[in-house]
A and B are shown apart, each in its own frame.
Chain A
């Protein structure tokens, strides 16, 4: 068993529930032993740094300090979420590189009786751990249901391969780790030139038309290249492409249907784990086609909202708009 300290991040408990469920399901066959940081807090995403610097780093560093208190045989912290991974790595790196910042942040942590020695933890993304620690050979050995015939589009988003403070990735713009992993699972991997382009992040909340155009490029390119499904390593990318695809279609008058799953969900399928355990069915753009291609039985769909209660026939009639002759008649009456 390989031991890691896990920093799940807020989205894993809500919008990216499928990511957490599938991660828990595959960690046993992979021999991954994940211990959650006790009482971790939000990493601040890209928002806290936009407001003020020292509190933003102190917020992140509380997690680092808690993790280092929990570290014994392992000093590796694994984060499945891109923004969380970036923030933890960034805080650690800058506290190391800028001793003044490190000192200030530790002064703030001292108010909560915490301390973090910069550089004492190794911050890793989940994909990095699976590809380089567990290894593709070990993953391949667990495959019982190869993803044969499934055209998968590998999509990483921006914050994992960049800026890559500690040189974990094969390339900053076209890294190949996810492609190799999907190949080992038996999938037909699509060459996707936009694999590390941005999904828009918080853009749907700031400038919707900009966000929709960013999403349209990603989705239409995946579609043109005959992808059956996109696969991501990031909760934000999944939420934007899955959640806002409907609104984007409305905006452009298009009719794309491009499901997006987490890479852990496809790993679970290849390992022969039940789709329900892997969070299938939680996506808004249904990924049923994936299960159909592989001949796996789909879990029951989320029941649609109950129809509105029909009006009782004996109820009072609702007012209806007046017809033209009625209006004319009324006018005449008023004039009289």
Chain B
């Protein structure tokens, strides 16, 4: 059962729209269950399709580096790896976003990156202890 649950793609296809939370007659917080299953599947290395976990990890890498999300870096890294054939179809959107300055070519870094890094380092140590 454990392996079946962790290998399932259900948690990864969940977009956390929270419909289930407000409809569940037993007040089960299903999206939080999904988030937990995702964490556990990554830890147990039981993820079957790496598209979604890679996207999350790339997003997290950007945030840990800059303190902000960086769409240009995220999109290019993710599409190159997982959807190289879609790049041609994506061009009009990408160019449109760049022309309107809706996508930045360079990342923005927060001022006190040192503080954020220290907090995240400590948080990871505490997470490992649990």
Partners in one complex: yes
Q: For the complex, give the distance between the alpha carbons of A45 and B16 in Å.
A: 11
In terms of DSSP, what is the predominant structure of the interface of chain B? helix
Q: Which of A11-42 contact B (CB under 8 A)?
A: 11, 13-17, 39-42
Cβ 8 A contact of B68, one of A10, A57, A104:
A10
CB-defined contacts of A244 to chain B, threshold 8 Å: 93
Q: Are A41 and B67 in contact (CB under 8 A)?
A: yes
Q: Are B69 and A42 in contact (CB under 8 A)?
A: yes
* Cβ-based interface call for A44 (8 A): yes
Cβ 8 A contact of B116, one of A52, A62, A104, A208:
A62
* Cβ-based interface call for B89 (8 A): yes
Q: Are B119 and A58 in contact (CB under 8 A)?
A: yes
CB-defined contacts of A57 to chain B, threshold 8 Å: 123
Q: Are A111 and B93 in contact (CB under 8 A)?
A: no
* Cβ-based interface call for A210 (8 A): yes
Q: For the complex, give the distance between the alpha carbons of A234 and B42 in Å.
A: 29
* Cβ-based interface call for A117 (8 A): no
Q: Are A54 and B130 in contact (CB under 8 A)?
A: yes
CB-defined contacts of B22 to chain A, threshold 8 Å: 162-164, 172-173
CB-defined contacts of A105 to chain B, threshold 8 Å: 123
Residue of A nearest to B59 (CB): A47
B85 to chain A minimum Cβ distance, whole angstroms, is 11
Q: For the complex, give the distance between the alpha carbons of A207 and B51 in Å.
A: 8
Considering residues B56, B90, B124, B130, which has the most beta carbons from chain A within 10 angstroms of its beta carbon?
Answer: B56
Q: Are A110 and B122 in contact (CB under 8 A)?
A: yes
Q: For the complex, give the distance between the alpha carbons of A77 and B18 in Å.
A: 23
* Cβ-based interface call for A203 (8 A): yes
**B residues touching A (Cβ–Cβ < 8 Å)?**
12-13, 15-19, 21-22, 29, 35-36, 38-39, 42, 51-53, 55-57, 59-60, 63, 67-69, 71, 75, 78-79, 82-83, 86, 89-90, 92-93, 95-97, 99-104, 108, 110-112, 115-116, 118-124, 126-127, 130
